[in-house]
Structure 1
Amino acid sequence: MKHTTTFLALLALAGCAAPGSEVYRSYHSEAGALVDTGSFGNATMQNQHAMTNEGAYVYNLSHRFANEVATTVNFAFNSAQLDAGARDTLREQAHWIRQFPEVRFRVYGHTDKVGSHGYNKALGMARARAVVAYLASQGISTSRLEAVASFGETQPLIVTEGRERRNRRTVTEVSGFVKSNPIIMDGKYAEVVYREYIKSAVSGARWTIVGDAGSSEGSE
């Protein structure tokens, strides 16, 4: 009875307490209390602000790249060698990259959790460098492959301590724009984002690289 009386007293006190008082905060922080305290719209506001600068265009282009080509390649256990499937994926990435010479990319390397943290960090980097080297062999200037980075074992797709092929991977992502490119110097980011990507027109066709360190030509 004593506990019931105490609870009812607190309930009444909380009902009369002014917002911002210690009693009000204590009572309304219980489970089931109002979650949105007024900051819910901040994320939307920040997104609207982001739409006015380069970051929004990088974000949109990143999504487009991920939707139109496979961005991930996988590796055998304890290996940084590219197999036939990986090379096919990277050729597809290179097709896309060649049609957007104003864009820079970053390659991230990952491993599974077998082995030490330091060893896996180095292995992730070796995998990222193998991808950069292959993209370069397809006519992509390394000046556009902005950097390679290794997350090692720290970002698994599948949480397991054992061998997991899906965790042994690299991911290629859009990282920004080539600042020296004339179109970007004119601030025409949207023109790049919404440029048509004609996959069928690339296979077997001659290609020209523009906007890197000079230009070159080749064929598939």
Structure 2
Amino acid sequence: MQSSSLSIGLKDDHHSIFLHGLKLVQYIDFSRNAFEDLFKISTFESQLDSLQSLILEGNLFTSIPLNLDGLSFLNFKNNKIAYLTTKEIDAIEVLFRKSNRTITVLLEGNPLVCTCASLDFVEWLFTTKVKLDSNGSYSCVENDGNITTTNAVYNHLRMMRIRCITTVWLIFSATLFGVLLLFILVGYRYFLDLTLLFQQKK
């Protein structure tokens, strides 16, 4: 059911009746249907025991569903995913450990970022036993807008983490200095007001 504008029809499918009763379905392709994060994974409630391959390529997802029981193939290519969160990674790893077969996740074509927030995701790409397209080496954008690859970032991961920690401490120090300076200025202004008031009483 590619390019069928299903996001419109399923938007109000609150009781998941679209695929209800189809308990033997193993393969679903909902590519290019403008699905967003509000898409209900409960749509596949009847297929929880049978569904093995889920194709959601070319939609508008910024995250992946956390209820992935039974799946062995998940295609999220060409969506709007910046990186996978710890919860999403854990969900995939739990699925891998519970499964007796290879788990494949496709992420090519997403606008991935290689920033401090995504370093755990980058590390996972090259340490997981889950099968990834492009061997986990994807194009990504750094904080300064430069385009690099997850592989390049992983090769300098330790240096990146140190840089991120340093940046956090610099921001914290600058903020603390600003607060202290504000207190000093307010205190000095209060001191001047008291001095002026004392002189007027004389």
Q: TM-score, structure 2 length as denominator?
A: 0.25
